[in-house]
Structures are given as structure tokens and as C-alpha cells.
Structure 1
Amino acid sequence: MSIELKLAELGHKLPEPAAPIAAYVPAVHQGGMLYISGQLPFINGQVVTGKVGDFANPLGRTMEDGKIAAQACALMLIAQMKAALGDLNRVERIVKLGVFVASTSDFTNQPIVANGASDLMEAVFGEAGKHARSAVSVPVLPLDATVEIDAIVAVKGK
């Protein structure tokens, strides 16, 4: 089954790949690897904002909100893969995800938030979607995003 059919079967539609907001490119394909710049969580064209665990703030986010934001980042990563490679079936393996979670200093479940992205990658790519990962807390992200994720992807062929 093609990756795009798998996405549809799971009820997901790829967003338009986000344009860079500064001096960088969305992805670099070099030596059989695709390096994807950090992607923000867009849902219905709007970036998901707010810190996970900041319940004193009306814009604060729950752990579940963070997982949904991480899944939105994963969809944007897949959209960038398609833009860079032309065909998602060229993805050999998701090698690594770097997950940055805007969260309060007392919130320590960044790995659970990151599962929103990891679970989607495995659901879409199967065994090839299992990856190494880091999940870290940061005080703030660009555009006040809740999560940002970058990726390293192994690519089939040239």
C-alpha cells in the first residue's frame, strides 16, 4: 500500500509544506539522507501555540494538547518529505526525530508529548517508522509554537 493511501486510511490529509520563516531551507537531501528542518504544528492553517503545563495561563496546553501538536508536526514533516522527494514511497526509514516541547519547568513528560509524532510515524511507515528520538523541554519556540520537530530520514535510491 502506498504511503499516501495509508495516510488517507488513517484519516489524515497532508498539509501544504510550510515555507521557512528565516534564512534556511525546509530540507536537504544529501548522500541518501534527508535532513528536515524543524517543523511547527499547524492545524487548519494556524500554528498551535502555548506552553504545555502552563495551566495558570488561558493559553496553556495539556499533555494531550501537546501530543496533538506533535502529531501535527509529524504531518508537516511528512509533507516536507513529499515536497523534497516527490514520492513518499522513497522513504526507507525514519532515522531520528528531535522533539522540542515548549513547557513549564515542572513539566517532565516531554517523551509522552513526543509520542504523538512517533506513534504517527510508526502507523504510517510501519517498521520503517520506528526511530531514535530526543524529546526536550524548551522555554519558548518560534511563533510561540507548542512543539517543534526536526527529522533525519533515510531515502531509497537517488
Structure 2
Amino acid sequence: MVNSIAYIGLGSNLAEPVKQIHQAFQSLATLPQTQLRKQSGLYQSKPLANMLQPDYINAVAVLETQLPPYILLEHLQAIENQQGRVRGERWGARTLDLDILLYDALQSTDPRLCLPHIGLTQRAFVLYPLYECEPALILPDGTPLEILLQHCPMDGLYRIEN
């Protein structure tokens, strides 16, 4: 089988978020037919839409995988569930959020798995850790990641851990 590259966004703001992200990295490293190739440092960010909730801890993981996108998504959701994820309001507080940001150069508007991930190009908490992992990355539409960063200020995002 052919190996694919998937970029995974990680986020947590409940139940010891730093610990949640470290545990998620460990779980990603044990996925079948998958290798954790890189992981960013941890970044602290404010919640989206100025919601009243704790700050988030965010990171990005780079996986080399033979899992098809929807099977990978199922595995990510299982990890979220194992770490106490409860699905409630959109952008609500959570123990763990794992999103497929990019999967090779696939583009999809499927509501279950939109690729590239919706909001990827405007979210500092995704772009900066993604850049840390893959500074020369070109998005499926041909846009260099570096260009997106030039138009996306850190806005309270800061790196807290390698």
C-alpha cells in the first residue's frame, strides 16, 4: 500500500490540557499502519469566538499512514473518546480535539471530513505549529504555508513547550 501524509491538529482546554496533548501524541504513535513522523511544540491560545472557557493548548502531528482518510478519522475519534471527549456545543470546551487538517493533497467538501480542514488558513493556533513541522508545506490549492503566516498574526498565541 502507498503511504500518505496526514497533518493532525490537536487541541485541549479541559482536564489538564498539556497532559491530554502528550497522551494524544502517544496514542497517535500507536495507530495501526501509521508512524508519528513529527510533532510541534505546544502552543497556548484563546478560545474561538471569545467564548468564556479556559485557554487551549494546541499542537500539530505529522503522520505517515496507510489508513484511508475515513478510517484514520475513526481512529482519531476513538482516541478522543478514550480521553473523555464529550461532544456538545460547537467550539465548546473539550478534553481533546483531533482534526485531520490535511491528508496528502486531497480536497473534499464532505461535512464529515472537509479537507483541507475548515478554517485552517485563518487560525494561528493551527498555522504556527503546522509551520514548525513543515515550513515548506504547499496547500492543495497551491498556496505556500509561509504566505498564509504573513497574513495571520499570532493574536495571543504563544509557544509554551517544545
- TM > 0.5 fold call: no
- In the superposition, the TM-score normalised over structure 2's length comes to 0.30
- In the superposition, the TM-score normalised over structure 1's length comes to 0.30
Give the helix-richer structure, 1 or 2: 1
